[in-house]
Structure 1
Amino acid sequence: MKSSRVENSIRNTIYALGTQIFSMLMSFAVRTVFIYTLGKDYLGFNGLFNNIFSILSLTELGMGTAIIYSMYKPVAQEDHRKIAALLNLYRTFYRIVGVVVAILGLSLLPFLDYLVSGIQDIPELEIIYLLYLSSSVISYFFVYKKSILIVYQQDYISSRINLIINSIQGIIQIAILILWHNYILYLLVLTISTFFNNWLNSLYVEYKYQYLKEYRSERVDKETKQKIYTDVKAIFVSKISSAIVTSTDNLLISAFISTIILGLYSNYIMLINVVNTIINRILDSLVGSVGNLIAVESIERVYLIFKRVWFINYWLVVFSSISFFILANPFITLWVGKSYLLSSGIIFMIALNLFMRLIRNTFIMFNNAFGHFVELKKKNIIEPIINIVASLLFILVFKMGIIGVLLGTFVSNITTNFWFEPYLIFKKCQVSLKEYFKIAANYLLTNIVAGGLTYILCDICLTGNSWVLFLIRIIICCVAINLVIILFYRKTDEYQYFMMLVKKVLKLSR
């Protein structure tokens, strides 16, 4: 990997991680004030409406992923005309999507009462929903330009803008909640912030890449357009699959269990989203570099880097998932009280699904960079069928509640993604799938040792709950989990490469 590619990745990672940690702290502050000022009833709306609009985002069809993949080669070749043509196609399509999402979103208004349960009538329910809809629709008219920052490995610019806007948004929302306890104004600030965030990114792209104006009327050739449409058809199936597997959990809990219970669950999901977002931001900063790598390097070099990225992702994921299982309930108890707790069995399933979801990051990244959209189509059809059938079976027949929903997600993941996504990459790299299972088995053994050791030290050896004990648990997680990983992998190429990156990060951070 070329030095400039490594440095771009590290720079993007530093900014992404720094801004995400700050955003996490700000979100936590806003969430805390939200809980104490508005209570459990409104808490469930965040998870419910966010999932509705995740499903509506399926109208994007995967065009963004397909076009970003198509940009890697022209960016490497500095073919400005083709880059602009692809972005123009992206712009036109996203404007259509924005209108379609608005129409579909409005069509759901009469059915809101059927999606909300366990909450007294709230007269402003429609207004709340419309504000969520507005925030979602606004994004489609600007966000397409961020793709340029990704393919040019300039994600840190977007991170800077996010930091500024999110800071202002959080401060204003906290003030509104404390002074007026007004959920409508709270959401109005969210909508306005979404607009300015996307608009400022758009202004920067127009200023930085002047050739986009020069080729504003450029059109994609027929052959490239046909290839994009072929990929889009396959990616759309993937989008549907992802929406069913990840976005329907909240809908099932709200409809079949209780929207108030969903509010309790959403606190844990907030913590999950923090972990998910931080890790994804770190890996997203590598997307442009991986695309460039595949466009210009040999398949042997690609496989070497794949294993290194997989190891880095694994380290982050195993630390995060075990720490979540150990720390989630003590944190919730200290933060908002025992009345907001869920059982340890539920927490274990949340942590397990967190691990299963995030360990796929490397496979998803490289499959997208390879353009394996059509190859994944069958898997993406089978996965949601297994998920929805298993979830409903566990909920309606076995009466397992939230655990049933989470178990359905796990079953669909282990029977499809666990083996098929790696299979495509190993096949492309001309390596036997046995090598994948060998590496995965070693990682599983490390999980068991690290998780077991940390659980014994934190939950069996330590009793009681206070901020001091919570801090001790954090220290134990940091030491025990990382020590086990270092002992297991200190002599591997992947570990040595990771240490080299750490040194570069420290150097660039000075």
Structure 2
Amino acid sequence: MNAKRGFYNAIFGLLSQIISIALGIIIPRLVIVNLGSESNGLLSSINQALVYLNLLEAGIGTATLQALYRPVAQKNHEDINHVMSATNLYYRKVGKYYFLAVCGLSAIFPFVVHSSLSPWIIVSVIMLSGLSQVINFFFQGKYRILMQVEGKSYILTNLGTIVNTFSSIGKIILLLNGANIAVLQLMYFGFSVLQMIYITRYIRKNYQWLDLSVKPDYEAISQKNSVMVHQISGLIFENTDVLVLTVVCGLKTVSVYSMYVMLFGMVGTAISTINSSVSFAMGQAYNTDKKYFSKLYNIFETYNMSLTFSLYCVANIFILPFLRLYTKGVSDVQYVDHLLPYLFIMTYLLSNGRSAAQRVIEYAGHFKLTQNRSIIESAINICVSLVCVFKFGIYGVLFGTIAALFYRTNDMILYSSHKLLKRSAKNTYFKWLLNFILFAVIMFVSNKLFDITMLNSYIMIIIYAAITGVVVVAAFFVMGSVIDKESYLYCRDFIVRKIKLKFDRQ
């Protein structure tokens, strides 16, 4: 059952990403062309500011995930109800505070950011964007967590794909007809309401045993405060760049930054979707069968690294040719920069490549024991970014991110290996080294093979990217299988058994 749900999560997740990428690429260009880079930068700044308000969630979601793995694996409905009851009460309280915070942010933001846009437009965008999250806290957030732990993320993914598709089509139509960004957010809020209604009805139909009126088990999610420290550090870390650039360099520079984040972020989201498709199985295994978990961990570490390096390698090859076409005719700021892709790639490789170590720390519930390390990571990012941004601009904030990630990624690898898995980290570092070497080799070869005259249209970029993607992904996965033969054999035998079982049933 877990394998089947994991497969569904991965397939539907990837399908969702393909659709999201196709639509997501169109909209930012329409915003830039029709409303200007300032509007695009404003949307990014507001989104980052709203992310900080998620600190009010206080780690409830992650603590609930960790608390539910065991009872869900054991199908213990009574314990699930007690945990969900506590989560529900916490989320309702958070929803009230979040709404007040959104109101406060909408009143302050127009005076903090220098913009030619109407203050009323800015206020409207903030309120409509914030209300979508208020709905999540009051109605659907707790249900999403339960479905994730049970491996039903594919249902949420399919729903998100439908909502994203129709809302994106709506945004395109509105932009082509001259609508402002406030109208775009109003339409998105409407789809958020419809999504909430569907999830609520799904839960009532398929989880009739769920009872949120039982006595809440606050102890089960007592680590929420320690999780909150991690989330505070994480949010500061993830959003420092945009906020520093907003204040120091202006909204046009934020627009450039957000453009690279959007394109590279699509790759990251695809990787995260695949990783999340098996996360529930790993979480349940850690809490019920450590030996089985050890096998899953090795497989996840090896092939997550292969997937991360290969996809970002392909993205790095084609991002600048794509940006030349994508921003053609936009003259208010320069988007094409030969150094930026490498700086962004380094941040994403360090961030995504450590996923295996990060997950085992979460499964073990070592939030309090590692919170100081998370604080140090954020402190490094802030300090280096503030020192460097005045001299190096957008490069400076990326220097800060890379420095912080270099520290924390190594810390996670060593902590998870020595403290939790009780083994040496040498094999993990060996995998990192070989993946970096292969990445460098492929980049060197690609720079010799491709030039701007070959990649002068979207069609040519797509064709060459598809061919290159097949070759590069295969190369990284073959190398991963060679250096971790045990994981390869386990995956091969598992797939063979599943195929044989499928044919036997027919």
Normalised by the length of structure 2, the TM-score is 0.91
Which residue is 1:447 aligned to? 439
Give the secondary-structure state (helix, strand or coil) at the position aligned to 1:181. Answer: coil
Deviations 1:299-320 (A, max 9, x none): 3332221111112211221122
Unaligned runs of 5+ in 2: none
- Which residue does the alignment assign to 2:205? 207
Q: Which moved more, 1:201-210 or 1:416-425?
A: 416-425
Give the AA of the match of 1:63: I
SS at match of 1:344: coil
Name the amino acid aligned to 2:350: M
Q: Residue type matched to 1:127 in 2?
A: S
Match of 2:315?
A: 324
* Residues 501/195 of structure 1: CA separation in 2 closer, same or farther (3 Å cut): farther
Q: Which residue of 1 aligns with 2:5?
A: 8
Q: Determine the structure 2 residue equivalent to 1:354.
A: 348
Aligned to 2:151: 153
Matches within 5 A, 1:477-488: 477-488=468-479
Q: Would you say 1:192 and 2:190 are equivalent positions?
A: yes
1:420 aligns with 2:412: yes
Q: Give how far 1:386 is off.
A: 0.8
1:252 paired residue among 226, 244, 254: 244
Cα distance change of structure 1 residues 388 and 89 upon mapping to structure 2, 3 Å threshold: same
Q: Using the alignment, how far apart are the partners of 2:107 and 2:145 within structure 1?
A: 36
Q: Which residue of 1 aligns with 2:212?
A: 216
What stretches of structure 1 move > 6 A for 4+ residues in a row? 500-505
TM-score by length of 1: 0.90
The whole-number CA distance in structure 1 between the counterparts of 2:492 and 2:23 is: 31
Q: Is the 8 A contact 2:30 2:172 kept in 1?
A: yes
* Structure 2 residue aligned with 1:379: 373
Say yes or no: does 1:163 pair with 2:156.
Answer: no
SS in structure 1 at match of 2:278:
helix
Partner of 2:257: 265
Q: Alpha-carbon deviation of 1:371?
A: 1.4
Q: Which residue of 1 aligns with 2:389?
A: 395
Residue pair 1:84, 1:216 contacting (<8 A) in 2 also = yes
Map Cα deviations across residues 106-142 of structure 1 (whole Å, 9 max, x no partner).
2223431454246465552222222222223222112
Q: Is the 8 A contact 1:334 1:466 kept in 2?
A: yes
Match of 1:135 in 2: 132
Is the CA contact 1:387–1:409 (under 8 Å) kept in the aligned structure 2?
Answer: yes
Amino acid at match of 1:455: N
* Structure 1 match to 2:358: 364
Check if 1:283 corresponds to 2:280: no
Please tell me whether the aligned partners of residues 389 and 397 of structure 2 are also in contact (alpha carbons under 8 angstroms): yes
Q: Is the 8 A contact 1:128 1:184 kept in 2?
A: yes
1:180 is paired with a residue whose SS is coil
Equivalent residues of 1:394, 1:404 under 8 A apart: yes
Structure 1 residues 489 and 72 mapped into 2: Cα distance closer, same or farther (>3 Å)?
closer
Per the alignment, residue 55 of structure 2 pairs with 58
CA distance change for structure 1 residues 310 and 489 in 2, over 3 Å: closer, same or farther?
closer
SS in 2 for 1:124: helix
Residue 297 (structure 2) pairs with residue 306 (structure 1): yes
Q: How many residues align?
A: 496
128-137 or 276-285, which deviates more: 128-137
Give the superposition deviation at 1:153: 1.0
> Structure 1's 114 and 449: CA in aligned 2 closer, same or farther, altered over 3 A?
farther
Distance 1:438 1:315, change over 3 A: closer
Aligned residue for 1:344?
338
Q: Which amino acid aligns with 2:83?
A: L
Partner deviation per Cα, 1:207-261 (whole Å, 9 max, x = no partner): 111101xx3311234xxx33522x2121111101111111121111111001012
Question: For residues 459 and 24 of structure 2, what CA distance do their matches in structure 1 show?
Answer: 23
1:295 CA drift (Å): 2.1
Match of 1:20 in 2: 17
Alignment of 1:78 with 2:72, yes or no, is no
State the Cα deviation string for residues 462-485 of structure 1 (Å, max 9, x = none): 766333542354145314423532
Q: Give the counterpart letter for 2:71 in structure 1.
A: P
Structure 1 Cα separation of the partners of residues 68 and 477 of structure 2 = 38
C-alpha distance in structure 2 between counterparts of 1:452 and 1:198, whole Å: 48
Paired residues of 1:379 and 1:420 also in contact (CA < 8 A): no
Instruction: Report the Cα offset of residue 199 of structure 1.
Output: 2.7
Distance 1:402 1:92, change over 3 A: same
Deviations 1:265-324 (A, max 9, x none): 222221122112211111111121111111221x33322211111122112211222222
Residues in 1 aligned to 2:19 and 2:8: alpha-carbon distance in whole angstroms: 17
Structure 2 match to 1:293: 285
Distance 1:262 1:93 in 2: 35
* Aligned counterpart for 1:124 among listed residues 121, 125, 146: 121
CA contact (8 A) 2:357 2:412 kept: no
Distance 1:118 1:188, change over 3 A: closer
- Letter paired with 2:145: S
- Identical amino acids, percent of aligned pairs: 23
The answer to whether the 8 Å contact 1:82/1:220 transfers is no
User: 2:339 is paired with a residue of what secondary structure?
Assistant: helix
Q: Which moved more, 1:299-308 or 1:434-443?
A: 434-443
SS of 2:231 mapped into structure 1: helix
1:486 to 1:65, Cα distance in 2 relative to 1, 3 A: closer
Whole-Å separation in 2 of the counterparts to 1:259 and 1:146: 34
Deviations 1:361-383 (A, max 9, x none): 22222221221212221111111
The CA deviation at 1:86 is 1.0
CA distance in 1, matches of 2:455, 2:11: 36
State the alpha-carbon separation in 1 of the partners of residues 87 and 11 from structure 2. 29
User: Structure 1 residue 315 and structure 2 residue 306: aligned?
Assistant: yes
1:435 aligns with 2:434: no
Q: Is the 8 A contact 1:458 1:473 kept in 2?
A: no
The CA distance in 1 between the partners of 2:418 and 2:12, in whole Å, is: 32
